[in-house]
Structure 1
């Protein structure tokens, strides 16, 4: 099998959602001095490649810790939305047969090419309400995108978050989705940290392909 990493590196200089603090690393133990290396890490729960739980925006809903590990692993499909200004129902419906057989829908907008640039935070394609409502009716575990959010950064209503999370469809943001996954069958794994009352978590997202 071949494993493709879809995850960004976490470091102190990485892009974060506007208004969030960047990760902080403090050396608690230094090998040469203390005989061991250990770091204190301060990080937001929605840093880097991460997963949103329903609890992120919905009161009295599930956290990531309320789901079994099976929720985070399953068959994946890539939807090619590169060059599109919006992710429409017309686009998604072209993949309906594949989506019906999948657990995770990963949308490749091509926006990951702007990672580390100011442009990454604005103008990225998002689903129309019609498209979000359509995908929310499918029996999938999660939807991922190679942008900072499934809604525009300046959105306060967060319509796509609400539509998906109300159906307990997990949201994965800040993915790296290479073209070599297009048209391929693969197992997608996105295990979060097992944190109590988890509204979200950084993940190590990978695609596993049979050779």
Structure 2
């Protein structure tokens, strides 16, 4: 057999294999894209700028709570000077500090915090700013009109996003005004059901607030808790440092606790830019 014949045969064989493998890879890619068609889309696959913003308040027994009872109690179980190491026994109420509300919090049979889908805990972060409204009304709410105005200015809110209310309230954490008005009544911003009903239609995964509750302080019926959470979605209360972020473009990572049957719990929440 001539050398050229051998060369031509090898070339033809390699070309055939390349076409076969290319087609297989294309088919695999198509199959994968069909099999994995997530409704969740990351704002950024990784922290593009390398910036990480901690959205979590450090908390202890002095951190404001809804019922006024300390949310966390430390008991020194092992002392360093006695044992060469140390540890604390902690008594923690689930809904204290920067924390997550699982669907089970306001439903008898909703998802517990350990059952939340991991892909719903890493999602695009959208921030709706109502700081101006909150200056004149401590019980200001995000309304459907605020969501519509946001979309008009910034584009659509992606399915699977976490939509956070930014009111400037996090700066009040060390003050009585974080929780109460001068008359001692609950007073802080939150969401209105007109907004959360609209966000539910958009397939938003979570809502968050930089205040004590998803509902405003003057709520008498916890309408947002009662409508948003039983729908299989979750909430985050007590967010910090939202002022450091743009209204779009960040990815939120919610380090939710994973105790079985939990209704929620303190969470380490980060934003990646």
TM (norm. structure 1) is: 0.91
Is the contact between residue 159 and residue 205 of structure 2 (CA under 8 Å) also seen in structure 1? no
5+ unaligned residues in a row in structure 1: which ranges? none
Matched, 1:60 2:109: yes
Residue in 2 that maps onto 1:24: 73
Residue in 2 that maps onto 1:72: 121
Shift of 1:203: 0.3
Distance in 2 between residues matched to 1:198 and 1:36, nearest whole Å: 30
More deviation, 48-57/163-172: 163-172
Distance in 2 between residues matched to 1:54 and 1:183, nearest whole Å: 26
Q: Cα RMSD (Å) of the superposition?
A: 1.7
CA deviation vs aligned residue, 1:62-101 (integer Å, no higher than 9, x gap): 1111123222111111111112133111111122334136
5+ unaligned residues in a row in structure 2: which ranges? 1-49, 134-139, 180-185
Any idea what SS the aligned residue of 1:65 has? helix
Residue in 2 that maps onto 1:11: 60
Is the contact between residue 124 and residue 160 of structure 2 (CA under 8 Å) also seen in structure 1? yes
Query: When the two structures are aligned, how many residues end up with a matched partner?
Result: 209
Change (3 A) 1:45 1:106: same
Change (3 A) 1:131 1:184: closer
Any idea what SS the aligned residue of 2:190 has? coil
Shift of 1:32: 2.0
CA deviation vs aligned residue, 1:87-126 (integer Å, no higher than 9, x gap): 1111111223341366111110111121122211232222
Distance in 2 between residues matched to 1:88 and 1:204, nearest whole Å: 28
Aligned with residue 88 of structure 2, among 25, 39, 42: 39
**Structure ranking higher in strand proportion:** 1
**Structure ranking higher in helix proportion:** 2
Shift of 1:153: 4.0
Residue in 2 that maps onto 1:183: 247
Matched, 1:93 2:148: yes
